Amino acid sequence: MNHHFTTVKELPDSEKPYEKFLISGVESLSDAELIAVIIRSGTRGTRSVEVAQELLRQDGHDLLNLYTLSVQDMQKIPGIGQVKAIQLKCIAELSKRMAKTRYKERICLGDPGSIASYYMEDMRHESRERTMVLLFDAKCRLLEKVMMSVGSATAALVSPREIFLAALDKSAIQIVLMHNHPSGDPSPSAEDDAVTKRVAECGALLGIPLVDHIIIGDRTYYSYRECKRIQ
């Protein structure tokens, strides 16, 4: 099947993202126009901005669709093929990494907010609970993060044995437990409380204290340490 591709130059002046960028700056572009710059062309009878608008109209109804839609889902939209879908997913990943880079040097064991900010973009868009343990040395420097489990939308399985095997393997002196709540509400559940208590008790016995358990929500977090539920 032959497709005629409509280039950005063929769009009306008011819908040319490249020209608008040069005249008014990147901040002047709408969400759809920013995506149109990446897509660059549409199929017959469809402008790139219209393709972008259709992408934004999908399940999440906004830019978060770049995170949540799969490559296969994106390809169902006329004007988005495999290459364009992959490009869009790469843009989404770059945005997450850029957000993380901003906070990387600010990570401080005694500041739960700095830890939450660093991992927020990685975890707040997840549709399932993911639990990781952050391993710190004696100077409170982050050694490594280790993914411990991927659960359902409501619960993640946490094994203290696996947590402390990872800590011992990396010679960690102290640890922070972290997981996300796909609902966006970071309020701890009774299960979260039980996991925290169990891991803290194991850590005390092994001499590798649990310094904090941080729950990531949507642009918010809950810290057991800040709430003085871990000493």
Read off the pLDDT of residues 163-189 as tens digits, 9 standing for 90 and up: 999 999 999 999 999 999 999 999 999
Q: Show me where the domains of the chain are located.
A: 6-100, 105-223
The rounded distance, in Å, linking the Cα atoms of 72 and 79 is 13
The rounded distance, in Å, linking the Cα atoms of 66 and 170 is 35
Domain at 105-223, CATH class? alpha beta
Tell how many helices (H) and how many strands (E) occur in the chain.
9, 7
1 has pLDDT over 50: no
pLDDT, average across residues 177-204:
94
C-alpha distance from residue 100 to each of 10, 143, 221 (Å):
38, 17, 16
pLDDT, average across residues 148-165:
82
